[in-house]
Amino acid sequence: MESFLATQHGDWSVHGIPAFNDNYLWAIVHQPSGQTLLVDPGCADSVQGFLTATGYHLSGILVTHHHPDHTGGVAALLKASVQPELPVYGPDNPRIPTVTQTAAHEDTLNWVGLNVRTLAVPGHTLDHLAFVIDFRTTERPDAPCWLFCGDTLFSGGCGRLFEGTAQQMFDSLQLLNRLPAHTLVFCAHEYTMSNLNFALHEFPDDPDIQARHAEVKDMRGRGISTIPTRLKTERLGNVFLRANTVAEFARLRSAKDTF
Q: Which residues are designated catalytic? A: 65, 67, 69-70, 124, 151, 189
Separation in Å, CA 204 to CA 197, 201, 207, 237, 253: 10, 6, 8, 12, 17
DSSP 235: H
Rounded to an integer, what distance in angstroms lies between the CA atom of residue 208 and that of residue 236?
6
Contacts of 131 (CB under 8 A, 6+ apart): 39, 62, 64, 109, 116, 117, 118, 119, 147, 148, 149
b/e per residue 129-138 (b: at least 16 CB within 10 A): bbbbbbeeee
DSSP 3-63: -EEEEEETTEEEEEEEETTTEEEEEEEETTTTEEEEE----HHHHHHHHHHH--EEEEEE-
Rounded to an integer, what distance in angstroms lies between the CA atom of residue 66 and that of residue 70?
7
3-state helix, strand, coil in the chain (%, to 5): 30, 30, 40
